[in-house]
Amino acid sequence: MNPLYEQINIENYSPFSHINEISKKYQFQPFNLPFARVRNNVIPIHPDTFEDLDMDEKSVEYFKKVYPTSSFRTVYETNENVCYKLAVKRNITRSIRDMNADELEKSNAATELLSRHEKKGFIIIPEKTHDMGCRYLNYIERKMPGKEIYPWFYVIATSKFPKETRMEIMKKIINYWMQFAKDGIVFE
């Protein structure tokens, strides 16, 4: 996976993307993500949240170089080919983006439900949730597939694909959305 695919449309991913309190230095360039020891676990913590929780640098076990993605709280680590969706104790669009236990349960339910509805050419990336007992320390881990994938907005925002290819992809996605909707599954 090329982390630049995820960054291509970060500015206009959402019409409310300008309403966020994530530090600019974590939005566009790779950065070092702290992995801190909390309650005998070593976990990734977004640097802004690390700062907001007044955590001590002595608790940092190590750092990993990560890339920001179109989702301000999701980062991509290339060596292990994994994305971490992190709690952020700051406003993004309309709310503080912590990660409560209910969100983790919904992620688990979605992974289970979607894995039963495989579609050709459509990849569901399973999520592994980590409940650390605190909405600002919980996180989700996504092991990325061993193949090149193109996020939806990358296909729209770039001219790397011919118009016919983009139209075919859009038709396929809309078709799959409709098939999922018939099964009672609706995407955000």
Taking the C-alpha atoms of residue 129 and residue 139, their distance in angstroms, rounded to an integer, is 6
In the predicted structure, residue 141 carries a pLDDT above the cut 90: yes
Percent of the chain with pLDDT over 90: 19
pLDDT value of residue 158: 63
The number of domains in the chain is: 1
Mean of pLDDT values over 120-149: 83
Token pair of 9 as six digits: 């449309």
Q: What is the pTM of this model?
A: 0.76
Residue 162 within a domain = no
Cβ partners under 8 Å of residue 49, min gap 6: 86, 87, 88, 89, 90, 136
Domain that holds residue 17: 3-147
Report the run of H or E that residue 63 belongs to, with start and end. strand 60-68
Taking the C-alpha atoms of residue 46 and residue 115, their distance in angstroms, rounded to an integer, is 29
